[in-house]
Amino acid sequence: MGLGSSRNSSIGSNRKSNDRRKDKSTVGIVFKVILDVDDPLLDAKQIPEIEKAKYIGAIQYRLQSSNEKNEKKLPIAIPYNSNFSSLPLKNEVVRIITVDGAGLQYERVVTSATPNVSGDSNIISKSTTKDKGPTAAKGSDYSKVQQTGVSRSTQKDTGNTDNYGEYFNAEVGIHKLRVFEGDTFIESRFGQSIRFSGYNNPDKQLYPTITIRNGENGESLSTPAGKVTEEDINKDDNIIFLGSRDYVLPYTLPTNNEHISFANYPSELKGNQIVLNSDRVILSAKASEMIFASKGDFGIITDSLFSIDSTGGIDVTLDDDTNYKTNDRNINFNTGNGKVNIGDVNLESLVRGETLVDLMSQLISAIEQQVFLTPSGPSATGPVNKPTFSKIKSQLNTMLSTLNKTS
């Protein structure tokens, strides 16, 4: 198996290497990035309507070695890899590749410590300014240039070439990821990343992991430019982690609730597992079932209200005891005009406590007022043990629950 994999990899590598030797590359500066099929540049270049979609992500550029100042004459290059594109920005440097039979193509060239931008926002003007020499960084921009090699110009595109595009603002506080031996990863300009790693653990043992992150956390963003960062399961804006083997994930619950009922909450999170952490999580099944299955305990922990809204009812089947602990809080069942049934055969109605007390009180009062006809005439009012009935009547309210009520 190992030999077969090695051989296939070698053949693929040699083929790619041979293909690259046929390609010729130069360095270009990006003047414009085509983001839509309605871009006027495509009409100016007389691109047929049926081919315009091919140019989404293409760039208009000027060779670094060229003095061409007429933008209309600047050529267009399409992404080198159409299945995976990392779009450059205006004023960034790219590698222009002439591919036999495919024309001009490009790849991004990374030249700065931050993944957000690459190079100054005024490369075009510096390279085309006559008799003025290179444009110097000004004022507050200087420290940013000194630390990262990037000028933090956020000027909108009003015909001036000193910017990164029409609406792109540089965020030089975004850091590159720390990498580990053998990593495969995708990293964007904006703090998003997908990492396939095996040794991103303190033990430096092979524990394969996948980490998907959207948004570098604020604490990391505040660290000095030029540093590197690592995904943080507790702090990053949105993160999904897939672990395996003995990788121990340092995840902590965001709740104040101490999961008292969930007695078997794991003491450490390791092994084959998926953890998703975000400010809000919505799982939606648009057309069919949503199924949660667990071989072990199933826990829900929240600091706020836990609610279920269902138009189809709720069926619960349990094979063990059911315990409710409300910590001195009420349990309310409101069925409207519906019924509450306990059991499913030989059902009888529940008794309303206060009504029962009232009726029994009336019954005892009637007994106390009884008069019997005797041969010698009417008897005295009430039975001879009338005091006993009076005592029972005074104790009727003790059979009422002080906690449980029904309507």
- Is residue 183 domain-shared with residue 291, that is, in the same domain? yes
Provide the H-helix boundaries in 105-191.
123-128, 141-148
Res 22: pLDDT: 54
- Is residue 238 domain-shared with residue 184, that is, in the same domain? yes
- Is residue 389 domain-shared with residue 310, that is, in the same domain? no
Residue range 122-169, pLDDT digits in tens: 888 887 654 344 443 333 343 444 344 454 444 444 457 788 988 999
Residue 344 lies in a domain: no
What does each C-alpha distance from 249 to 41, 131, 283, 324 come to in angstroms? Answer: 50, 59, 23, 32
Residue range 257-310, pLDDT digits in tens: 776 788 888 889 999 999 999 999 999 999 999 999 999 999 998 999 999 999
The string over 2-32, giving b where at least 16 C-beta atoms fall within 10 Å of a residue's C-beta and e elsewhere, is: eeeeeeeeeeeeeeeeeeeeeeebeebbbbb
The Cα 22–Cα 118 span in angstroms is: 28
- Is residue 281 domain-shared with residue 367, that is, in the same domain? no
The Cα 61–Cα 73 span in angstroms is: 10
> Which two tokens mark 86?
């990392």
Which parts of the chain sit beneath pLDDT 70?
Answer: 1-24, 128-159, 259
- Is residue 192 domain-shared with residue 313, that is, in the same domain? yes
Closest of 226, 256, 254, 222 to residue 239, by C-alpha: 254
Closest of 41, 68, 37 to residue 54, by C-alpha: 37
End position of a domain, from candidates 109, 131, 146:
109
Dihedral over Cα of 25, 26, 30, 34: its sign: negative
Domain that holds residue 230: 173-318
